Amino acid sequence: MRAKSVEDQDSQAPTLFCLVGKEGLFCGISTPQSANGFYAGGSLYVAKDTPDTISRAGAKIAEALHYLKLYRPPLPAGSHWLELGACPGGMTSELLVREFRVTALDRSPLDRRLFQNPALVFHQMDVAEFRPARDDRYDAILDDMNGEPEESIRQVIRLSRQLRRKGIIVFTLKLPKVETVDAPLQLRDEIVAKADAAGLKLFAQTHLTYNRHELTLFFEKAAE
């Protein structure tokens, strides 16, 4: 019988977490969801400096997909992601390795190694100029664009018309300067309010281990 993995935990079940350290044994009971992770007090290790690593950003989506399992079953292979701000392609490679289809956009060039994968379509252009075909549908949108978060969420909202109902959005909120706690939280509130007004409901948010001056926000599209 296969041993169960960390991600096989029931994210809603009260769980005994134990930490053995030099100082002794520390234990606590919590659901993984309320502990904000399957490794309570710890984090998923993602190798980010291997010869195949395209960019360290790949670790963010690897960790985000792991984190998402606290809230919902994983998207099946073949699901279609629209990726905004994809270059050089670390996140794209993580999506492709999980057998997702990816439509990736960026003004900059994508790492050439990725083009061997037929599940990838890349458009080198400004996201603001991208006009999907009327019938194009996505199961998820990933946004990792740098620049003004207000412009990023505007583009996500515009393109979310092509997102299926219950489709998800993984949004990296870039924080310009983190000097106080209040300013980033206010920016977070403004971005969440804009998304909410467009029918994109925040269902989770966190600072991933692999986020720097960023937060990762998770939205779900309420209606088609």
Ligand X SMILES: C[S@@+](CC[C@H](N)C(=O)[O-])C[C@H]1O[C@@H](n2cnc3c(N)ncnc32)[C@H](O)[C@@H]1O
Q: Is the CB of 15 or the CB of 152 nearer to ligand X?
A: 152
| Interface with ligand X, residue 144, by CB under 6 A | yes
Q: Tell me the site size for ligand X, rule CB under 6 A.
A: 21
Residue 159 sits in the site that holds ligand X (CB under 6 A): no
In this structure, are strands 101-106 and 120-124 parallel, antiparallel, or unpaired?
parallel
Give the residues across from 5 on adjacent strands: none
CB atoms within 10 A of CB 137: 13
List residues bridging with 121 in a β-sheet.
103
191 binds ligand X (CB under 6 A): no
- Residues 6 or more apart whose CB falls under 8 angstroms from that of 103 comprise 80, 81, 82, 83, 121, 122, 123, 136, 138
Check binding of 169 to ligand X (CB under 6 A): no
Kindly state the smallest distance separating residue 9's Cβ from ligand X, in Å: 28
Q: Please tell me whether residue 216 binds ligand X under the rule CB under 6 A.
A: no
Stretch that binds ligand X, among 40-48, 66-74, 86-94, 112-120 (CB under 6 A): 86-94
Q: Is 91 in the site for ligand X (CB under 6 A)?
A: yes
Instruction: Estimate to the nearest angstrom the gap between the alpha carbon of 77 and the chain centroid.
Output: 16
Residues of this chain that interact with ligand X (CB under 6 A) are 55, 57-58, 85-91, 105-108, 126-128, 144-147
